[in-house]
Amino acid sequence: MSKQTHILFVCLGNIVRSPLAEHMFQHLANEAGVGDRFSVDSAGTSAFHVGESPDSRMRRVAASNGLKYDGASRQVENDDFERFDMIIAMDGDNRRNLLLMAQKQNYEHKVHLMRAFDSQAIPTDPVPDPWYGGMDGFEKVYKIIERSCQGLLDALQSGELEV
């Protein structure tokens, strides 16, 4: 893995799951001493929250686990399919929307599901959206994303996953 790998994490609004995954992955890569090998970003398939900060409930859960982050939501753009080596969708709906947006058949290989890298999940399982639930849902999603990001990092470092 000599070149920098560009990874885009995607959920619906880009204020809960995907910004957490973006910052979690970079944090884990930095801790492993390989942060410079990756360029990460996040986006949403919808424009519902463009320009908004990540959800305060998820930021609180992350901070309680030692991960602080901020940023502003953006929507996936057509050129993202050219710029990123991997596009990681949080669930099947977002994956389908991404594939529709790709407009070219040759981008399908770039689009993956997040839980495909979670050792405690079936690869097609979604990362649930905790938006309408209580804080326990945000805690659960934090753990899912942490495991999934670690699995993704491990797969990239071991060469099991090539981009």
53-89: per-residue pLDDT in tens? 999 999 999 999 999 999 999 999 999 999 999 999 9
* DSSP-assigned states of every residue in the chain: --SPEEEEEEESSSSSHHHHHHHHHHHHHHHTT-GGGEEEEEEESS-TTTTPPPPHHHHHHHHHTT--------B--TTHHHH-SEEEESSHHHHHHHHHHH-SGGGGGGEEEGGGG-TTS-TT------TTS-HHHHHHHHHHHHHHHHHHHHHHHHTSS--
**Does 149 participate in catalysis according to the annotation?**
no
Looking at the domain 5-158, which fold is it? Rossmann fold (3.40.50)
Q: pTM of this prediction?
A: 0.96
In tens, the pLDDT along 93-108 reads: 999 999 998 877 789 8
129 is catalytic: yes
Of 74, 129, 147, 149, the active-site residue reads 129
